Structure 1
Amino acid sequence: MAGPVQQEMEELLREAFAPTRLEVINDSAMHHGHSGDDGSGESHFTVVIEAPQFAGMNRLARQRAVIAALGDIVGERVHAVAIKADAPA
């Protein structure tokens, strides 16, 4: 079951991009006891997103767009987010 931060991330990304594919994967268990693990169980995530808005954007621009859509989550409430963002083929 998705925690509140994961659910919020999914909602924000759906609102911002209306993605054709979206996976927000909680990787926190793999980082238990490592730097940035705050014990919440929601400290590390991978976002896999595909959206038409990413067409014509380079990888860095897509990642910046995703981070902007997530607002204060990245860096404030979540230690790390790996982003795989693409436009539909």
Structure 2
Amino acid sequence: MTDTKSHLSRADRIEKLLAAQFAPHEFVLEDDSRKHAGHAGARPGGETHYRLRLVSVAFAGLSRVARQRLVYDALREEFDTGLHALSLDLKTPEEVAGA
């Protein structure tokens, strides 16, 4: 079996992991690394700072903190290998529809 992880960008790995765990109704991931050049955790190649909007029924009944913990836990390996910051907007489909 070939290790495909090394062939995927961090954004692709994040999308694959979160899609599998949360079956999102909406998924928007933006690489904000260029905005953080020179700041803590920034690297010349980028892929360190992201903004995520994820809409999923998996968040129903969970507090904002519990939702964040689920996402951070799912991405633990990415944080351990260079992901420095992740801005989160986590909603249920009902919350989006009511907005």
TM, length-normalised to structure 1: 0.91
Q: Give RMSD over aligned pairs.
A: 1.2
Provide, for residues 32-78 of structure 1, a one-character-per-residue CA deviation record: whole Å limited to 9, x for no partner.
Answer: 11111111211100111000010000000000001111131124321
Q: Residue 22 of structure 1 contacts residue 50 of structure 1 at CA under 8 Å; is this kept in 2?
A: yes
Structure 1: tracts of 5 or more residues without a match: none
Answering whether residue 13 of structure 2 is matched by residue 5 of structure 1, we say no
Which structure 2 residue ranges, 5 or more long, are not aligned?
1-7, 95-99
Question: Equivalent residues in 2 for 1:27-38 (5 A)?
Answer: 27-38=32-43
Larger radius of gyration: 2
2:48 to 19, 43, 57: 43
Q: Work out the number of aligned pairs and report it.
A: 87
- The two structures have a TM-score, normalised by structure 2, of 0.82
Regions of 4+ moved over 6 Å: none
Q: In the alignment, is the contact (CA less than 8 A) between 1:74 and 1:81 conserved in 2? A: no
